[in-house]
Amino acid sequence: MQTLHNHIDGQFDLILNHAVLEWLAEPKQTLHSLLDWSMSIV
């Protein structure tokens, strides 16, 4: 999840993270990273 931006190319309407964030060491930082990434591709 933390390196997702290195593995995808393109745009998505929706990213599902069901039960993923609770298992991460830094869930808040990961969520912010996803939001930053999503705003950079718009």
CA angle 12, 15, 17 (to 5 degrees): 170
Asked whether the whole model's pTM tops 0.85, one would answer no
The percent of residues above 90 in pLDDT, for the chain, comes to 0
> pLDDT by residue (tens digit) across 2-38?
677 787 777 777 777 778 888 888 888 888 888 888 7
3-class DSSP assignment, residue 18: coil
Measured CA to CA, the distance from residue 11 to residue 23 in angstroms comes to 25
